[in-house]
Structure 1
């Protein structure tokens, strides 16, 4: 297995090709490799070696990528930490990961840029631990997902073939780099083929369109919230986005109407994918060139198997509803020091996603909902995503989320939260009427709460635990 995303394995023909840039720095492949070597020397002098863990707690910038690669150069692993975390949140991750060093805003300037040539040759092996990515913690304390270099190489090969990435591609990286999506799809995949990436520190709709016009990327990966903000921009806000050959949407469910609106406004195809950190990022994706089925997250990516499993462990056929399970070399090694959680997720040889889905006759996956998000109303199973899709079609609705509210008679009932598009107002009575028209009575929300903004977790997903706490408190 060749780990082609590592600077010390790159072909010499890449040396002068553009590699990575942010608002302050621009490096070709030779210069990026030199930065990594110099940073690795710096880390080695501070006790980092094979088997160590380095915590990297930085906003999106070139130095973050250099620091991760420098850890790998020494046979160490990296754990990317959300730079907006509180001391308690970051302290838990750094301690749980056993990090021997933290690279943050206070010491990143100490990283040298010119190597002295003091390190022995790199000996990075596929089985070496590469990343400790911490789950969002929506079901408890965050757990460290152990991903080795074999996992990363498998994911990159899968994604590279799936999106047909080549040396002429240019990715605009906008998602936070403490998340595996940004690391794998926007960073490692392009540099594995000699392509380039431009790193944005944050997202702002108008500035993002300006960055596309300025840097001329060929693709980018984002979450539904970003596309919602882009399509909500006033019609007079325009930009030349003709360089973009496709964009990826993932990390959270998105209604088909959002895809149609984005494609109509910007002209490039928007492909929806699906995956988990435990699967190193993505397991399915609608094809860039091929049949894209709205409402699905596409077929399995190359090198992976996606199936639907019944509660008794049998695999189900097309059209049957059950838990989505995944197999492939991209599936994690396990959770750090969590043998019970690892056995629960991987014990039968499949990665159990906790998502409910259906495969059609062509192998395209439709996500019905999270098993844990399912609302049980008087013994009847209700999937919030079905209700959310109806709400998204309502006039003026930007975002929608449905959670179970406590009920003394039925146990729980659906309650909805929505936010409005800029300049729009939401007619709650009209929304409820739409729900009554399109949903059976038990699925109609008992209330629709209008918020200025729906709460989000650190990776941009709607924070349903916070919404559940809100309705429980009410």
Structure 2
């Protein structure tokens, strides 16, 4: 698929816009044209090759989604590199642990991701970004505009020699970090063929058409759409601007997360064509509201970092389902399903991750979701088994952040999700801290500010002091009871 995209950008209307962004008024502006995107990928490939990155090297990428990030992916594909996706919003402690696991040969970061010191510090806080200082990252190069305090820019004019096409074998393509703990972070590894299989599934499901506009900003939207000859519009960040953008651009296909859809609907958004949503639960009521706001079809997509996409369901089918649980649809072509002894949904297929970094390959993905399989094979979810908290469209794994809460004076501390009213499947993240007897609560709350600040985008919505419920013979924290306790305390 990436080879097809690189070829299509040069041969299929190279002068047409590839990526658009919209102003606050909703007016569209060309971010980059198709031929220019192909040229940028060639420039990055030559620059990375000049830095000594060859087939099998690991490239860390901390770049906001958009044309630059896509050009880097195309360049890495050409050179046979594997990309480690780095999320600067995870906080410096978690990010440092992830870097130690991935051990990238070079990190490409934009200026916002590097805003860690001096006058750039406030910029980092406003953008919810935090990176360890550059000396702890290893070799770093700035992609795009360089601000004071940033690493040297990637030298894109240092060579005019085209980079060789060394990629092609079914090697590792991308590393995406998920769960684990700070001491032992966990990362999903997709191979080139597995990534291609997932992209093919998206193409067959969505069916982007040449000359149309697709609104969305994820890699799995950009690649199939541009390969088909469509133009991609990056979603505006504010709900009001997004509503105006939807009205003016009238995209044939739209992909937004459920929180983005709810915010856009509150701002009076009107939809067109087909609308897709995922990354968080989308109930039938939300999909109906999208169709009432003008969409021809409204689809919920069930996907995981380990397998994207796995299943899909349109609003009419979802609304007609009257059984218990959440219908997420029939498995997409090639996806196989099974249930574990505890009812956990297991998935396999050509687009599934190859392995977790540092572990042996396993064809079956443990989803962490309890499920039932209808006689016709459709998947019905019945709640989560794992500790993950889903806030907005972000997966937050308590094990990555709870150790930082165990300061002197803390007996026990857990992070739990509390259901958010009016947003099915969305949760508030709450820290429940049990002080040791005799600890001054005011002093402890002050001491917790440092660890909380270092959690980045996983900072809790609330911090409560109280006794953490325990259960079982091992007397482990009972997260279900802790969540219920926090819900009662927040209501009170």
Q: TM-score range by the shorter chain?
A: 0.5 to 0.7
Question: Which of 285, 296, 313 lines up with 1:286 in the alignment?
Answer: 313
Query: Does structure 2 conserve the Cα–Cα contact (< 8 Å) formed by 1:309 and 1:323?
Result: yes
* Aligned equivalents of 1:60, 1:415: Cα separation in 2: 28
For residue 40 of structure 2, give the secondary structure of its aligned residue in structure 1.
Answer: helix
Deviation at 1:69, TM superposition (A): 2.1
Q: Which residue of 1 aligns with 2:228?
A: 193
Matches within 5 A, 1:161-200: 161-174=204-217, 182-184=218-220, 186-200=221-235
Deviation at 1:11, TM superposition (A): 6.8
Q: Which residue of 2 aligns with 1:381?
A: none
Asked if residue 205 in structure 1 is aligned to residue 236 in structure 2, the reply is no
Q: Which residue of 2 aligns with 1:364?
A: 378
Question: Which of 350, 365, 375 lines up with 1:351 in the alignment?
Answer: 365
Deviation at 1:309, TM superposition (A): 1.7
Q: Give the TM-score taking structure 1 as reference length.
A: 0.67
Question: Which of 80, 100, 103 lines up with 1:75 in the alignment?
Answer: 80
Question: Which of 48, 54, 59 lines up with 2:53 in the alignment?
Answer: 48
Query: Does structure 1 conserve the Cα–Cα contact (< 8 Å) formed by 2:93 and 2:182?
Result: no
* Aligned equivalents of 2:100, 2:181: Cα separation in 1: 19
Q: Which residue of 2 aligns with 1:130?
A: 173
Query: Does structure 2 conserve the Cα–Cα contact (< 8 Å) formed by 1:34 and 1:113?
Result: no
Query: Which structure ranks higher in relative contact order (CA pairs < 8 Å, sequence separation ≥ 6)?
Result: 2
CA deviations on 1:350-391 (whole Å, 9 max, x unpaired) are 2222211122233322111112369xxxxxxxxx99xxxxxx
Query: Does structure 2 conserve the Cα–Cα contact (< 8 Å) formed by 1:308 and 1:357?
Result: no
Q: Which runs of 5+ in 1 are unaligned?
A: 175-181, 313-321, 375-383, 386-402, 404-413, 422-455
Change (3 A) 1:84 1:352: closer
Deviation at 1:274, TM superposition (A): 0.8
For residue 420 of structure 2, give the secondary structure of its aligned residue in structure 1.
Answer: strand
Deviation at 1:462, TM superposition (A): 10
For residue 261 of structure 2, give the secondary structure of its aligned residue in structure 1.
Answer: helix
Query: How much is the aligned-residue C-alpha RMSD, in angstroms?
Result: 3.9
Question: Which of 104, 107, 118 lines up with 1:99 in the alignment?
Answer: 104
Question: Which of 28, 33, 40 lines up with 2:38 in the alignment?
Answer: 33
Matches within 5 A, 1:251-330: 251-279=279-307, 281-286=308-313, 295-305=326-336, 307-311=337-341, 322-330=343-351
Change (3 A) 1:462 1:73: farther
Change (3 A) 1:135 1:169: farther
Q: Which residue of 2 aligns with 1:436?
A: none
Deviation at 1:271, TM superposition (A): 0.6
Q: Which residue of 2 aligns with 1:108?
A: 143
How many aligned positions are there?
370
Matches within 5 A, 1:56-71: 56-71=61-76
Asked if residue 248 in structure 1 is aligned to residue 283 in structure 2, the reply is no
Query: Does structure 1 conserve the Cα–Cα contact (< 8 Å) formed by 2:345 and 2:367?
Result: yes
Deviation at 1:198, TM superposition (A): 2.0
Query: Does structure 2 conserve the Cα–Cα contact (< 8 Å) formed by 1:246 and 1:288?
Result: no
Query: Does structure 1 conserve the Cα–Cα contact (< 8 Å) formed by 2:42 and 2:163?
Result: no
Change (3 A) 1:112 1:289: farther
Deviation at 1:16, TM superposition (A): 3.2
For residue 361 of structure 1, give the secondary structure of its aligned residue in structure 2.
Answer: coil
Query: Does structure 2 conserve the Cα–Cα contact (< 8 Å) formed by 1:77 and 1:131?
Result: yes
CA deviations on 1:21-55 (whole Å, 9 max, x unpaired) are 34676222221110011111122222222111111
* Aligned equivalents of 2:461, 2:351: Cα separation in 1: 26
Q: Give the TM-score taking structure 2 as reference length.
A: 0.65
Q: Which residue of 1 aligns with 2:257?
A: 223
